[in-house]
Chains A and B, each alone.
Chain A
Amino acid sequence: MEIKVCGPGCASCEQAQKTVEAALVAKGVEATVTKVTDFQEIAQLGIFSTPAVVIDGEVKCVGRAPNQKEVEGWLG
């Protein structure tokens, strides 16, 4: 599983990243988590508000940091 956390690296982006990692641990799922900070790259994904979470190419949430329950739901 491949997870991308998009955002330039402000407080709410950091929080999104932490939430994702915590959810992975809680569910015991293995995944590579990458940070995408380049605005051009983010825009090419069709994301215009950050933070955003992309799981296996599918954008799960844009413009806010999700809570852990939500992320666990996306992990299946």
Chain B
Amino acid sequence: MEPINLFTKGDATPNTQRGKLLVAGALGLVFWYLIYMQLEPFSFFFAYSLLGLEKGSHLGEAIQFFVYDTPKVMLLLTLIVFVIGMVRSFFTQERTRKYLAGKRETGGNVMAALLGIVTPFCSCSAVPLFIGFVQAGVPLGVTFSFLVAAPMVNEIALVLLYGLLGWKVAALYLGTGLLIAMVSGWVIGRLKLEHWIEDWVQELRAGEAIVIEEKLTWTDRVTRGREAVRDIVGKVWIYVVAGIGVGAAIHGYVPEDFMATIMGKDAWWSVPAAVVVGIPMYSNAAGIVPVVEALLGKGAALGTVLAFMMSVIALSLPEMVILRKVLKPKLIAVFIAVVGMGILFTGYLFNLVI
């Protein structure tokens, strides 16, 4: 995506370096946009002129869909992952923890949920993070707001939702995901469950928290962005392509309203069923969104599908197993119940409103 070599550390002064980066970034963005604009015309050309398929035929629609959506989603993904990678170089878990340590509940819940989006996090670092938060005196409820938001509001999910289903669905997902994180953390805080944290965590005489203050230049931040792209896009592209492939097949061949009876608005039990089915399922956002899109296209209700997706991403069995090391089973049960209720509520709300 960045056509110009950015690894010019050393001799250049910071100012000219920043200028160079800005020019490279602007050029890259223009280049990106030009390609992006050509995708749809190209997909029509490819399917209907080059391959000579008939407009409106099953195969033609499926191929046009695939040829349009795959590069579109990959382009969006690359851009967003790059930007988020740069943004995340401004945030570290250390800084977030320090910041939240002084916060009370309510306001703290809001901040924790927001920081959950931009702070680098992977589900297996949940335990050290939890210990660090507890040791630093971050309230339990605030800690949970962070732990819910961090996996749920996921940049890959947002990009895919935007690319495949439009900005409204993406915005709904972002808004409700944050709200669930804030409210369920707040509720857990109200319940005063500190005694359900494993004893060793409280008794632990941990070492002084190590904070490495890095002086990052803009070149370093760009490098972080590029590393994020190589890492994340390199890992998920195969899921995206496979997912869109399945989506394209469904798009072309499965009859409309196929899903309506089991996942439609009228089936009241479908929302709780979606949440329950989603908990043991563990998939990253890249795998789940194309499936979600296919379900929606065939008559499933938006609320039900959102509930399913949130349940898969935010409530995952492997994460619960990891958290079991620091939380007593009762607290894990409360965590699942509170977040599950939030997701359930969201599902019903959207089925009702839309």
Query: Residues of B contacting A60 with CB < 8 Å?
Result: 212
Q: Which of B94-140 contact A (CB under 8 A)?
A: 94, 97, 120, 122-125, 127-129, 131-133, 135
Inter-chain CB contacts under 8 Å: number: 83
The answer to whether A48 touches B208, judged by C-beta atoms less than 8 angstroms apart, is no
Asked, given contacts A48-B97, A49-B93, whether A43 binds B124 with beta carbons under 8 Å apart, the answer is: no
Q: Report B-chain residues with C-beta under 8 Å of the C-beta of A33.
A: none
Q: Tell me the count of chain B residues lying within 8 A, CB to CB, of chain A.
A: 31
User: Whose C-beta in chain A lies nearest to the C-beta of B93?
Assistant: A49
Chain A residues within 8 Å of chain B by Cβ, number = 26
Minimum CB–CB distance from A4 to chain B (whole Å) comes to: 13
Give which listed residue, A40, A61, A67, contacts B204 with CB less than 8 A. A40
User: Which of B97, B128, B322 contacts A43, CB < 8 Å?
Assistant: B128
Are A48 and B128 also in contact (CB < 8 A) when A12-B122, A62-B212 are? yes
A46 interfacial by beta-carbon distance below 8 Å: yes
On chain B, the residues within 8 Å of A59 by CB distance are 210, 212
For the complex, is B195 an interface residue (Cβ under 8 Å from A)?
no
With known contacts A10-B124, A63-B92, A47–B205 Cβ distance under 8 A: no
Tell me if B206 is interfacial: C-beta within 8 Å of chain A. yes
Q: Is the CB of A46 within 8 A of B125?
A: no
The interface centre, meaning the residue of B93, B94, B128, B209 with most chain A CB atoms within 10 A of its CB, is B128
Q: Are B128 and A47 in contact (CB under 8 A)?
A: yes
Residues of A within 8 Å of B200, CB to CB, are: 40
Residue A44 at the B interface, CB < 8 A? yes
Q: Nearest Cβ in chain A — how far from B241, in angstroms?
A: 20
**In the complex, per-residue mask of A11-51: 1 if CB is within 8 Å of any chain B CB, else 0:** 11100000000000000000000000001101111111111
Known: A40-B204, A43-B206, A67-B227. A48 touches B124 (CB 8 A): no
CB distance from A60 to the nearest CB of B (A): 8
Q: Which residues of B contact A40 (CB under 8 A)?
A: 200, 204
B207–A45 contact, CB under 8 A?
A: yes
Known A49-B132, A63-B93, A64-B120; judge A8-B127 contact (CB<8 A). Answer: yes
B18 within 8 A of A: no
Q: How far is the CA of A59 from the CA of B128 in the complex (A)?
A: 15
- Using known A-B contacts A50-B125, A63-B92, determine if residue A44 contacts B205 with beta carbons closer than 8 Å: yes
Taking CB atoms, residues of chain B closer than 8 Å to A48 are 93-94, 97, 128-129, 131-133, 135, 206, 209
Partner of A63, one of B94, B207, B235: B94
Closest chain B residue, CB of each to CB of A67? B227
A9 to B208, CA, bound (A): 23
Chain B residue nearest to A45 in the complex (CB)? B207
Known contacts being A61-B212, A63-B93, A64-B120, is A49 close to B128, with CB within 8 Å?
yes
A12 to B228, CA, bound (A): 12
- Does the CB pair B207–A43 fall under 8 Å? yes
B190 adjacent to chain A (CB < 8 Å): no
B325 located at the interface, meaning its Cβ lies under 8 Å from any Cβ of chain A in the complex = yes
Task: Give Cα A32–Cα B223 distance, bound, in whole angstroms.
Answer: 29
8 Å CB contacts to A: which residues of B4-48? none
Task: Please measure, in the bound complex, the distance between the C-alpha atom of A59 and the C-alpha atom of B326, giving whole angstroms.
Answer: 24
Can you show 15 pairs from A to B with CB atoms below 8 A apart? A8-B125, A10-B123, A11-B122, A13-B124, A42-B128, A45-B210, A46-B210, A47-B128, A48-B94, A48-B206, A50-B125, A59-B210, A62-B94, A62-B210, A63-B125
Other contacts beyond A8-B322, A61-B212: 13, CB < 8 A: A8-B125, A9-B124, A42-B128, A48-B131, A48-B133, A48-B206, A49-B93, A49-B132, A50-B124, A60-B212, A63-B93, A63-B125, A64-B120
Sorted from nearest, which 10 A-B pairs have the closest CB atoms?
A: A48-B132, A46-B207, A10-B124, A49-B93, A46-B210, A43-B206, A59-B210, A50-B125, A8-B124, A48-B128
